[in-house]
Structure 1
Amino acid sequence: MNYTSEINSEGFAIINDIYSENEIEKLISLIEDVTENDSENATFRKSQDLFAIRQFHKEVPETLDFIFNENLKEIIESNFGSGYFITKSIYFDKPEKSNWFVAYHQDLTISVNKKIEAANFENWTVKQNQFAVQPPKEILEDNFTIRIHIDKTTKDNGALKVINNSHSKGILRIENLNFETEKETICEVEKGGIMIMKPLLFHASNKTTNNERRRVIHIEFSKQQLPAGLEWSEGTILQKN
């Protein structure tokens, strides 16, 4: 399962049939157990348009054995090599009647344990005692994200739209992209499939129009150690079986 050239040239790849129906049902069960029993958790965000769990792999660690099945481990190894670890994870549940949409953007920030001034680390923010910062682009260029699709995702329930190869242009303002000449792809993914993407790939999502739920587990990876005493606040090394 080698998609390296596609990821490098387009900035993303879609791979279906990574998880069995049974594995997906187990993930759903574990998530529902936590959300039903811990609704006041500070890392949970709930509105009529979106339910999200931040630091998902720490809030629901029981899911990791199912997420990192043999298929996913082989994909990571064959496309990125060894040494990568989790740096951030979020669970998104976009309800059937959601009007939530996200405009085109790049994923420019990382989560760190505290604010320490370091060269080329800028645009600091803090939410719920969680520090985020924009690192040098070399760190972002080396990272990757895997989105695990618990539901079939189409253009009608908020599948990501991406600008192909936009990750190769560095950090950009969206108005500096010429939409007349750029190629846009709607990334439809089957239930149990994944999407791999680079953080600098411009991506967006539309409102839901078909009354179908969209649940996604979003996991970011890096193999870089941070300078000047900075540490990944959600850093988790993957256990080798």
Structure 2
Amino acid sequence: MSADPRADLEDAGRLWLRGALEVGELSILDAQTRTDGPGARIDPSPAILSVIGRAGSLTRRLARLLPGLRPVRALTFAKSGDTNWGVPWHQDRLVAVRERIDQPGFTHWTRKDSWWHCEPPANLLARMVFVRLHLDDAGPESGCLELALGTHRLGPLPAEETQAAADRAPQEVADARRGDVLVVKMLTVHRSRRASKPAPRRVLRVDYAPDDAPGSLSWALD
């Protein structure tokens, strides 16, 4: 890591904060996190907001690394022997908002988990990050995240080009321990394989975006 962690984030597209979650925060997240599959939206209870909310303990610690950004969505990803899944190389390009308000540059509107989702303009996606909070150890055998470093600088890619982009980039297996935090630029190409030796692998993902949603939109986690 360089003297300026933000420079590492801008260059590689990811930044590790090893052991960043405190014992009390892990206890809260353990009690509030679902364990039944991929991409389950979290209802923002007061307990979980005390950690990941706009004024939460973790959010305050991340403020120096992520100036001008705030949490806007939270999801859980849980792999185990009963819920074992994988996804190929891809970019995440959807944001969650409270209601649909059509405006220029916002496309691919869809409704799921009682929220509206859309793809915002590329200049907004370029400013966003997702933050992964590891509640269990995660390694190659348990199907941890894999990153194609630096691919965030390519901008939004057609789905059929993400494999080639990953092949050209340095790849990193996101081997993590319980309590580790991983900050990733939103447009980084990434994947997750099925676990070869399934074991509990819970991750809480929090998306961060600019403080104010564009136009009349309101972020889902507001």
Instruction: Give me the TM-score of the superposition, normalised by structure 2.
Output: 0.86
1:197 and 2:205 correspond: no
Listed as ranges, the matches of 1:36-185 within 5 Å are 46=36, 50=37, 53-56=40-43, 58=44, 60-67=45-52, 68-69=56-57, 73-74=60-61, 76-81=62-67, 83-176=68-161, 177-185=164-172
1:3 and 2:5 correspond: yes
Q: Secondary structure at the match of 1:9?
A: helix
Instruction: Determine the structure 2 residue equivalent to 1:31.
Output: 32
Q: Which runs of 5+ in 1 are unaligned?
A: 36-44, 236-241
Q: Secondary structure at the match of 1:147?
A: strand
1: CA distance, partners of 2:203 / 2:104: 34
Alpha carbons 2:38, 2:79 under 8 Å: kept = yes
Spell out, residue by residue over 1:197-228, the C-alpha distance to the aligned partner (whole angstroms, 9 max, x if none): 01100111011122311011110112243344
Alpha-carbon RMSD across the aligned residues, in angstroms, is 2.4
Q: Secondary structure at the match of 1:139?
A: helix
1: CA distance, partners of 2:211 / 2:49: 21
2: CA distance, partners of 1:119 / 1:25: 42
Shift of 1:97: 4.7
Alpha carbons 1:24, 1:150 under 8 Å: kept = yes
Spell out, residue by residue over 1:123-170, the C-alpha distance to the aligned partner (whole angstroms, 9 max, x if none): 111124321111101111111111100001101112101111000000
Q: Which structure is larger by alpha-carbon Rg, 1 or 2?
A: 1
2: CA distance, partners of 1:77 / 1:170: 25
Moved more, 120-129 or 148-157: 120-129
Q: Which runs of 5+ in 2 are unaligned?
A: none
Shift of 1:179: 4.5
Instruction: Determine the structure 2 residue equivalent to 1:15.
Output: 17
2: CA distance, partners of 1:13 / 1:19: 15
Letter aligned with residue 201 of structure 2:
R
Aligned residues: 215
Letter aligned with residue 223 of structure 1:
P
Change beyond 3 A, Cα 1:224–1:181 = same
What's the % identity of the aligned pairs? 21
Instruction: Determine the structure 2 residue equivalent to 1:214.
Output: 201
2: CA distance, partners of 1:183 / 1:201: 12
Shift of 1:17: 1.1
Alpha carbons 1:97, 1:209 under 8 Å: kept = no
Letter aligned with residue 31 of structure 1:
Q
Q: Secondary structure at the match of 1:80?
A: coil
Instruction: Give me the TM-score of the superposition, normalised by structure 1.
Output: 0.79
Change beyond 3 A, Cα 1:228–1:25 = closer
